[in-house]
Each structure stands twice: as structure tokens, then as C-alpha cells.
Chain A
């Protein structure tokens, strides 16, 4: 345990320190932000490092094994509706709670001039994510090639992009990225890895990944369709 903590601290420091150093150099050379703002940055950097150490250790010993255990148990119940239901629930709930999604809905609000209620948008995005998490689980089960799903998803996106009002395009693409935040990632990742690890003829390496990638497609399509409907 002590070794684990030491190696995580080392990892996080090498992860964050370069960025902090660059900001400090910029501060003295060029930016010269007010001292209190700079102090706040230093405090923030310390919080980021401490937080990331705790988070990474916690994910390793808590969330990943838990998600994998749950994912591995799902197919053993032998019930397809149960798998669909739980995948949908986890995708939906994780997205609704994602802090970045809230930021995104404020952006959309600014672009659309408040034409759509914020919480409706959150639900649209969450349903988009949940739907594609379910698709991803079914894909693992049915052995449907991921390349076709991805290609189909992005071809639809590209076609829609040509007809979506210009101001909605950046927001739509952004929504795909922001929905998969730091808490959603380990949960959905572990679910897929655990799920594929117990099925005969499948393995975590060849089938377990791809859930996050597919989950990113849903909200892009959702926001684009919404943009077209609004105009």
C-alpha cells in the first residue's frame, strides 16, 4: 500500500508539474496576473495534485474492481432486459451528474437564446449517452464489428453537420467530448471490461473497449437534431 501511494504521488507530480511550471514561467515573463490570482493558481495546483493522487488510488482499488465485478455479473443473470436496463441507467445517471454537461448547457443557452429549457437539454444528452452505452453492450454480446457502428455513427454526424445551423455545430461536437468526464470514464470502462471478460470467445482486449467512444456519438447527434428543430 505504501509503495502504491509513493508511486502514485510520483506519477501525479510528473503529470501536473510541467504544466504548472509553464504557467509560472509565463506569469513572470509575460502574463503578470494580479498576485492574489497567481496565489490562487498555486493553491489550485496543490489541490489538483492532492486530489488526483487520491482519485487515481481510489479508482484503482475501488471503482474499477467494483465496475468490473458488476459488469461480469450482468450476463450471468441471463436476462437481456436486465443488461439493457442497467447499462441505460448507469449511462444516464452518470451523464446527468457530469459537471461539464452543466457548463455545456449554459453554452447552448447562450447560442440558442434560451429557446430550450436547460434541463430538457441535459435529458436529451443523457438519453443520447445511455442509448449508445446500451448499443455498445449489445455489440459486445452480438459480436457486431465496432468499425461498422463507429463508421455509421460518424457518417450520420457528418451528414447532419452539413444541415445544422452554423452556431450549433461547435456546441454539438463539444457535447460529445464533455459528456465523458473523469467519473464516467472509469465507471463505463470497467463495466465494458468486466462484461466482456466473462463471455466465452470474447476478451477484455478485443471487445471490452469502445463504450466511451460510442457514448460520445449520442449527444452530438442529439444536439444537432435539436439545433435543426429549433431553426
Chain B
């Protein structure tokens, strides 16, 4: 009972993941040539995601779907029908709050904006928007309003707002419309809506119950565009103070994916730690363009502060690890450092990664 149709779900996810996995492996073998351990970790991660998602979907199917139907059927019989509107608001918020894809989008937005747009803000706005529109959707079912009367003005409003919005906000807003309609919303909220529609007389579950997904897709578009316009009116500025330090600093700029390996090996060679940063840039051996736009491949920059007497050993290890002798592999250089704050000396310990 609990595992009914699990194999089918698993197969579907494998099919969705397969092209990415296969293409990645081909690229890895032919051109990317990332370190082996890094690739193994990626593949391990993908398999973890695959199993996790199958488990998640199965749980939604056997647990949340029937529960949603049962709740919907009972609620459709409630006398005081307007109560369904605040109830819809609450359920809309909670279901979206539990949607995995919304969290992934939030995290990526936080990362891409270097933390200036926080993940939690994205979550609140998307969940709040869906909550509002599920409430509207409940009103639609109770009073029998046609879907188009809500959808068309909604999208016209969104199109109007496009004129005044920043392009990154627009892209995120419409992406949010796509991610909000995940399995929680589509199965659980829809089951409640169809249950309610089938309990209220004169409502057709197909016409009145469905269409809810369309409202969920519209909701975050409008809320994010609105918030973007509000934020646009404010401008912020950040200032950062960096303190630099004694000893010497090895800066290695290498191809993406090699940073971890360098960190590990430089630790073995006696460094006390390191910092990996991401960047982009280009060297003479990799100049390329597409449609006239220069390509700047991603790089990892490893910063390693070492004692002056250990610098050469560590540097040598880095050169060996990242194959810096070859053209196009990257560069490393050493700069003297005036002051260091925050290095606590523990001569008997070496860093273990």
C-alpha cells in the first residue's frame, strides 16, 4: 500500500535526470576533465537527490493526497462557506512553505545576489503570494467566478508592471511562478479544491476545481514584481573593511572544480588552511568567443596564508596538484603580507580536510 507505484515514480525521475547525467559524463570525458573525486561527489549527490525525490513524491501521494481529498470533502459541507477563504490562505502558505523547488530557487537567488536578497525573503514572498491566491481561488469556487476573470486581469497587471521592473526581478518573478507549482501544491491543494468543488452543489470539479494551479503560478509573479518595485525605490550601499596580515599569501587561480583538491594537498604540505573563491577570467590559451561575446570561464581562486619558510613547499605542491605547468591550467603567485589577524598558532596540529 505504502509503496504502490514507487517504481514508476523512480523511473520517471531517472528519465528526467538521465539526459543531464549522460551529457555531463560525455563532457567530462571529452572536455571538462574535472578531478575524479569531484565528479564522483557530483554523481553521488545526484543519486541522493534521485532517491530523496522519489521518497518525497511517494509520501505526498500516499499521505497528503488522500488527506487533502478527505479534508476537501468535509470542508465543502461546512455551512459558513466564507470560512474557506481564510482556511485557503493558511493552507496555501503552508503547502508552498513545504515545497522543495521553492527552497532551491531561494537558495540560488541568495547565492547569485551574493546575499543581498535573502532566501527567507524569497520564501515568504512566494508563500504569501500563493496564500493570497488560494484564498481568491476558494472564493472562486464558492461563488462560481470563471477562472478567466481572475487570470486575465492578473496577467495584464503583470505585463503592465514589466515596464517598470528590473530585468533580474522579472526573471526571478516568472521563475517563481514555475517553482511554486510543485508536488505539494499540485497534489495536496488541488485535492482539497477538487474535494470542495465536488461537495458544493452546482460546481463541476473539472472546471471549478482545476485551474487552481494557474492561480498558484500567477501569485508569486505578482508579489515579486510588486516587491521589486518597492525595493527599487530604495537604494542601498555596503562598505566592507578588509584587514590583511603578515607572512606570505599564495594566490592560485585554477580551473573550476580544482580548488578543493588544492586545499587538501596544500594542507598536507603544511599550510594551515585556505579559502576558495569563485571568479571568472581568461588566459591567452583559452580566448574564445560566441556570436562576438567573449567567453570567460569560471575559475576558482585559492588563497593560502603560509609562514614564509613554508611557502615554497606549499607552492610546489599546488603547482603539482593543479598541473600549472601545462598551458591553460591556471596560475599561482606569492605576495608578501604585512599583518595577519586571526591566525592562532597550534604548531602540533595540521588542518585535516
Query: What is the interface of chain A, defined by CB distance below 8 A to chain B?
Result: 11, 15-16, 18-19, 22-23, 26-27, 30-31, 33, 37-38, 40-67, 69-70, 72-73, 75-78, 80, 86, 89-90, 93-94, 96-100, 102-103, 107, 110-111, 141-142, 145-147, 150-151, 154-155, 157-158, 161-162, 166-167, 169-171, 173-174, 176-178, 180-187, 189, 193, 197-216
Contacts and interface: CB of A to CB of B under 8 A. Distances in A.
Contacts of B290: 75, 78, 80, 141, 199
14 contacts: A38-B67, A43-B59, A52-B98, A54-B49, A54-B55, A58-B48, A58-B49, A59-B49, A73-B31, A90-B19, A162-B148, A170-B147, A177-B181, A181-B182
Contact of A47 (B59, B212, B256, B293): B59
A45 B59 contact: yes
Nearest to B17: A183
The 4 closest A-B pairs by CB, nearest first: A44-B63, A62-B45, A213-B174, A54-B52
A1 B98 CA distance: 23
Interface stretch (B152-160, B237-245, B266-274, B314-322): B152-160
Interface in B283-318: 286, 288-291, 293-298
B59 A46 contact: yes
A182 B100 contact: yes
Interface string B43-58: 1111111111111111
Contact of B210 (A22, A150, A170, A193): A170
Contacts of A208: 112, 171
A52 B104 CA distance: 11
Contacts of B63: 40-45, 47-48
Contacts of A170: 147, 206-207, 210-211, 214
Contacts of B45: 57-63, 65-66
Q: Chain B interface residue count: which class?
A: 35 or more
Contact of B217 (A53, A102, A166, A173): A173
B242 to A, nearest CB: 22
Nearest to A44: B63
A79 B264 CA distance: 36
A56 B12 contact: no
Nearest to A179: B178
B175 interface: yes
A110 to B, nearest CB: 6
Nearest to A11: B103
A209 B168 contact: yes
Interface of B: 1-2, 9, 12-21, 23-24, 27, 31-32, 34, 41-64, 66-67, 70-71, 74-75, 90-91, 94-95, 97-98, 100-101, 103-105, 107-109, 112-113, 146-148, 151-152, 155-156, 158-159, 162-163, 165, 167-168, 170-184, 186, 206-207, 210-214, 216-217, 221, 256-257, 280, 286, 288-291, 293-298
B33 to A, nearest CB: 11
Contacts of A147: 162-163, 165, 167, 170
Nearest to A186: B104
Contacts of A98: 12, 16
B24 A70 contact: yes
Nearest to B162: A147
Contacts of B151: 161, 173
B48 A54 contact: yes
B67 A94 contact: no
A212 B213 CA distance: 15
Nearest to B53: A55
Contacts of B9: 99
A212 B175 contact: yes
B32 A73 contact: yes
Contact of A70 (B23, B170, B176): B23
B112 A173 contact: no
Contacts of B97: 15, 18-19
A62 B45 CA distance: 4
B112 A52 contact: no
A70 B55 contact: no
B322 to A, nearest CB: 17
Contacts of B58: 44, 47, 51
Given A40-B1, A205-B113, 16 more contacts: A45-B63, A47-B55, A51-B59, A52-B56, A56-B103, A58-B45, A58-B52, A61-B45, A62-B42, A69-B42, A76-B297, A177-B178, A181-B101, A212-B175, A214-B174, A216-B177
Contact of B20 (A44, A58, A70, A200): A70
Contacts of A78: 288-290
B101 A177 contact: no
A146 B52 contact: no
B66 A176 contact: no
A99 B62 contact: no
Contacts of A94: 16, 19
Contacts of B173: 213
Contact of A61 (B41, B66, B207): B41
Nearest to B183: A182
A151 B48 contact: no
Contacts of B216: 177
B38 to A, nearest CB: 8
